Amino acid sequence: MKYLIILALFSCIGNSFAQQTPAKKQTEAVTIVGATAHLGNGEVIENSLIIFEDGKLTQVMDATATKMQYRGKIIEAEGKHVYPGFIAPNATLGLVEIDAVRATDDEDEIGSMLPHIRSLIAYNTESKIVESMRPNGVLMGQIVPRGGRISGTSSIVQFDAWNWEDAVIKEDDGLHINWPSSFKRGRWWAGEDPGNKASKEYEKDILELSQFFTEAKAYLSSEPEKTNLAYEAMKTVFSGEKRVYIHVDGAKEILDVVDFKKEQDLKNLTLVGGYEAHKVIDELKDNNIAVLVQRPHDTPNNEDDDYDFPYKLAGILHNKGVLVALESSGSMERMNTRNLPFYAGTTGAYGLGKEEALKLITSNTAKILGIDDKVGTLEKGKVATLFISEGDALDMRGNILTHAFIQGREISLETHQTELYHRYMEKYESASK
């Protein structure tokens, strides 16, 4: 009897902390009528009719201009808003659960040149942090490894799955490189001046990176006796199938990245961070380089920057013709990724406007990641990954989801946090009576 009680106790604990069970495959058509539809490409339909079945959008149109027959389950959404699912690039979601518990940290591997490391196979679909993205409309993400000079290979997933095989949208989409800095901060604990000074290792670090690329090309053009997994992983980089993401901030470093792109004949290259990208806009446009801009809710890096420069950077680049999206790496990045829509809302208030800002977490992100044929906008034929919000989803006050769908499947919006909210709300409501 004692053992049965213990077993039941553990079962209750497990159920209270487990992720929501993934939704079943869509079996019935869904019609959303009357909502303001924000298509993700800058267009808005005030009174929309959206139909999807078998996981795909079949109709996206103005409800007042059609007599289209409604199909399946009908959701009356007058006064509400419909958006394509938001996409979080350069995220470590599902790779780390608790920072202080080493066994839950799979974001980094030992070594420097690690193109063969694949984040996808370490992605934890049961993560409670991943689950907490969904109530804010963040339904997809690019899962990226960290560390080393070449961190490894990312993959793109959706956030409602039993395992990584079910979650994947695009497998091994990109290679991630941490570009060296031309400056280093003095180590005060070693008696050095704590200010910035030129790095003596900068040119050496770039040379080592170039040498790795050269050696990989030589390996792939020969018939080696032994397999080198790191070099083998570079094959799709040189062919252009795998995109290259270079994490870099300084203007000088960005110009060196441009030279590196030409030297290595890299076809698809994107900057991640790009804090000083506004200083080299012409070079970025001439070389067709997109930028995943760091999150705007941050303080300026330099003493002479405008106090609101991080808010304006995405707008400056976008308005000058650079393809831009938002990423959220940095302090507490996994938890803060749920704030992605509010980052976009801030950029909208500082030079972009709401519909252009929406592109930074939908269609622009999909284009940069190479998945715009599937997601990123509400268009006929695309995957039905979308949500309904009571108000403006880029505003904390309006981002209140009533329904969310991934691949046409209606997903749960309950999380560990919402369970605690309901639990303590009931406690205090009872106490006040």
- Which domains does the chain carry? 21-85+377-433 (2.30.40.10), 86-375 (3.20.20.140)
User: What confidence tens digit (pLDDT) does each residue in 176-203 have?
Assistant: 999 999 888 777 777 777 777 788 889 9
- Asked if 301 contacts 282 with a C-beta cutoff of 8 angstroms, the reply is no
Question: CA-CA distance, 356 to 43, in Å (whole number)?
Answer: 9
Q: Is 430 helix (H, G, I), strand (E, B) or coil?
A: helix
- Asked if 29 contacts 52 with a C-beta cutoff of 8 angstroms, the reply is yes
Mean pLDDT of 36-40: 97
Band (pLDDT 50/70/90 cuts) for residue 253 is very high
On average, the pLDDT of the chain sits at 91
User: Tell me, what's the pLDDT at 19?
Assistant: 59
pTM for the structure as a whole: 0.91
Question: CA-CA distance, 242 to 96, in Å (whole number)?
Answer: 25
Question: CA-CA distance, 108 to 195, in Å (whole number)?
Answer: 28
| Of the candidates 39, 51, 40, 23, the residue with the CA atom closest to the CA atom of residue 384 | 51
User: What confidence tens digit (pLDDT) does each residue in 74-114 have?
Assistant: 999 999 999 999 999 999 999 998 888 888 888 889 999 99
Band (pLDDT 50/70/90 cuts) for residue 146 is very high
- Give the residue ranges of DSSP H helices in 47-201: 128-131, 164-167
DSSP secondary structure code for residue 242 in this structure? S
Q: How many degrees, rounded to 5, is the angle at CA 371 between CA 142 and CA 19?
A: 45
User: Tell me, what's the pLDDT at 326?
Assistant: 97
Sign for the CA dihedral angle at 212, 214, 215, 221 comes to: positive
End-to-end CA distance of the chain: 39
